[in-house]
Copies of this chain bind each other. A is one copy, B any other.
Amino acid sequence: MNPIEGHLSTRSPLHNILAPTGIAIVGASADPTKRGYKAMVGLIKDGYRGNIYPVNPKAGMILGVRAWPSIAAIHGNPELALLCTPAPSVPGLVAECGRRGIKGAIILASGFAEMGEEGARLEREMMAKAAAHGVRVIGPNTSGVFNLHHHLNLLALDGLKAGDIGIISQSGNMLLALALEAQHNGQVGFSTYVGPGNQSDIGFNDYLRYLGEDEHTRVATLYVEGFRDGRRFLEVARDVTAVKPVVVYKSGSTEQGQKAASSHTGALAGSYQMTVDVLRQSGVSVVQYSDEILPVAEGLGLLQKARGKRVAVIADGGGQATIAADRLAEAGLTLAKLSEETRSQLRAILFPQASTLNPVDVAGSSDANPSLLARCMEIVAADDNVDSVFLVGMFGGYSLRFAESLLGDEMRGAEAMVDLSNVTTKPLVVYSLYAPIKPPALRRMHEAGLPIYASIEHAVRVLAALGERGQYLAERKRQAPFAAVTPVPSVQAMLASARQAGRDLLEYEAKALLGDHGITVPEERVVRGADELAQVAAELGDQLLAMKVVSRDILHKSDAGGVRLNLRGTAALKEAYQQIMTSARIYDANARIEGVLVTPMADKGVEVIIGMMRDPIFGPVLMFGLGGVFVEILEDVAFRALPLSRFDATCMIDQIKAKKVFEGVRGAAAIDKKALTELLLNVAHIVEAYPEIQELDLNPVIAYPDGYAVVDARVIVERAADGFFPTEPIKKEPA
């Protein structure tokens, strides 16, 4: 479907498309309110070095450039076309581009899939033409493109600075907002921007791959309303994040926002939490608020990743130190425990009333001597317990606040911080109250590549992103390669038979499948007649037992009276067996009843659930959560895409908000996280080995201080396209 795929060993074709030697502007115009005018102006003003071919039926000259009546009429070899014409004209123009040898077309028009069925039809027609003529399409419904290092500015945006932040944004206004923020920041510049629009051909994954390869891009920054091929995106993201940071803002964190987004780009917004979880799994730095996008992108681009999450705070006032401590803790960062050596070095240069605990509060020591703060940063940066250094307070403003004569010392301090940033492997993050008015010391540091933050909240987001990125890359390096699992022939046969029958696995079959792949399952029996019960009772010993009807036709066993709990002894089993049979017959006289499953009651423990679904955007995704009310009320669950690494499995468990439950409450012992991790990995292996498994649910699993019990398991099998039996709609059984 997407011709860019399968060429991973070659460079992305976007490098050529986005740096053409000639460009056709179809719908070029001398009317200043038209996009066909603006694009011309942008190219000319920014000094585009290739040839510009305006296309307009009236031909003549446009902005001093010779225009052509049609694409076909152009003398020259444009490599890229910008189509500024309305939607209905687009399919024909795309074909014309192809015939003229143009390899890429940027389609601004809206009125395609985002506008309903008629638009979708037009989009399909356009894509058929594009495929037939070998034209790659950016858009439709795109806000446009720029590639500043090639002087290609089709947005005619003023005040853009070439730099190293690449942007892919499904909203043109978001790009504009970032551009204005960058202009105000003064130091941030951009490499390439693309609006992917409807992504009918080239999608987020292709653009990300391009930015990953682009030598001018240091950070890839994305505003996403919806992915098309999310699974492919994750693969690309995993590759790109290994070499440079990828920052994503995903809209649609609420139902209200998802509705707004789908009317905007026509894309499925998808589950927000799932999207965030799987992006993070691929090393992406996800930002939660739109006003954090640029600060985090700038910080990740300029600063080194941190080895870990232990931050040393150097402050010259208690208030901001307190706020910093709060925000760091909320972001999952910790205050580094400074070594005795570090503290004694600090004590040697600070006033006696200073605090050398972390946050270090210099308590006036730097009032007449602001460069002392640089010295403090140097001291804590040398401490092995410290992963990053956070300067908090009024550095940069000492000469304004106290005495102009301090300016020299303050500038020396700024130089010392710049020098330190060049020799240390630890990130230095600077928050200054004076940032809004940009005094000389801060300007000097910013020019030298040290970002300066005017908000403690933003600075902490940067510290968190640096710490997460550092830990993530280190953990990923440690991961053993993913071991492929060989399917077991008997399991394959069982799945094939269920598939042919148009049914899902029965509970005991599902558990047997789990058991075949290293998962501990209860010792249980299917009883096909009351006369077998005495023997089963003897085999299963003196434990409390549960009985559940076994029938491919009864999905809701409890509703059918097909479940009995807390049974002990042959007599009780026999009575329950008869009752289950009677109830099941009343419930559905035609149900094919295979027998009754006799299984031990699980001891009390912590109820968790594990599920796998094949997500339309991200493919097979594993879910883990606390069971019972926690999953229903609090939606306290974690998602990871497959393949799943051991690190991923560990992170899933640690991500649960109510994870304190795992440590033991009300006197209970901590649960066996190692066993749960193995269980998650085994489930992942099973899903990879049997693509015919459509959905899988272990619900509940009871976790114990030693091991776990899988109480119920469901395996939903892909329906055979030509099965003999009619397939039932797949309904979930209430837990």
Q: Decide if B225 touches A316 in the complex (CB within 8 Å).
A: no
Query: How many Å lie between the Cα of A683 and that of B82 in the bound state?
Result: 72
- How often does this chain occur in the complex, in copies? 2
Q: Name the residue among A321, A434, A665 with the largest chain B CB count within 10 angstroms.
A: A321
Q: Is A241 an interface residue (CB 8 A)?
A: no
Q: Is A531 an interface residue (CB 8 A)?
A: no
Q: Is A187 an interface residue (CB 8 A)?
A: no
Could you give, for residues 386-417 of chain A, a 1 whenever the CB lies within 8 Å of some chain B CB and a 0 otherwise?
A: 00000001100100111100000000000000
Give the shortest distance, in Å, between A266 (CB) and chain B (any CB).
Answer: 10
Give the shortest distance, in Å, between A582 (CB) and chain B (any CB).
Answer: 24
Contact of A433 among B180, B355, B629 (CB under 8 A): B180
Contact of A171 among B170, B318, B633 (CB under 8 A): B318
- Give residues of chain A (314-329) contacting chain B, Cβ–Cβ below 8 Å: 316-329
Q: A263-B355, A289-B457, A402-B33 are in contact. Are A177 and B329 (CB under 8 A)?
A: no
Q: Give the nearest-CB partner of A663 in chain B.
A: B633
Q: Give the nearest-CB partner of A660 in chain B.
A: B633
Give the chain B neighbours of A158 by CB distance below 8 A: 400
Q: Is A251 an interface residue (CB 8 A)?
A: yes
Q: Is A590 an interface residue (CB 8 A)?
A: no
Q: Decide if B256 touches A325 in the complex (CB within 8 Å).
A: yes
Give the shortest distance, in Å, between A691 (CB) and chain B (any CB).
Answer: 33
Query: How many Å lie between the Cα of A236 and that of B669 in the bound state?
Result: 48
Q: Decide if B265 touches A318 in the complex (CB within 8 Å).
A: yes
Q: Give the nearest-CB partner of A156 in chain B.
A: B401
Give the chain B neighbours of A454 by CB distance below 8 A: 181, 291
- Give residues of chain A (329-360) contacting chain B, Cβ–Cβ below 8 Å: 329-330, 334-335, 353, 355, 357, 359
Q: Decide if B172 touches A317 in the complex (CB within 8 Å).
A: yes
Q: Decide if B402 touches A177 in the complex (CB within 8 Å).
A: no
Q: Decide if A319 touches B436 in the complex (CB within 8 Å).
A: no
Q: Give the nearest-CB partner of A433 in chain B.
A: B177
Contact of A260 among B170, B359, B665 (CB under 8 A): B359
Q: Decide if B264 touches A319 in the complex (CB within 8 Å).
A: yes
Give the chain B neighbours of A254 by CB distance below 8 A: 325-326, 329-330
30 contacts between A and B (CB under 8 A): A158-B400, A170-B319, A171-B322, A173-B320, A174-B320, A176-B397, A176-B433, A180-B436, A180-B437, A251-B319, A251-B322, A251-B326, A252-B322, A256-B326, A256-B328, A256-B334, A256-B335, A257-B322, A257-B325, A260-B321, A260-B324, A264-B322, A290-B323, A290-B456, A291-B454, A291-B456, A291-B458, A629-B665, A634-B634, A666-B735
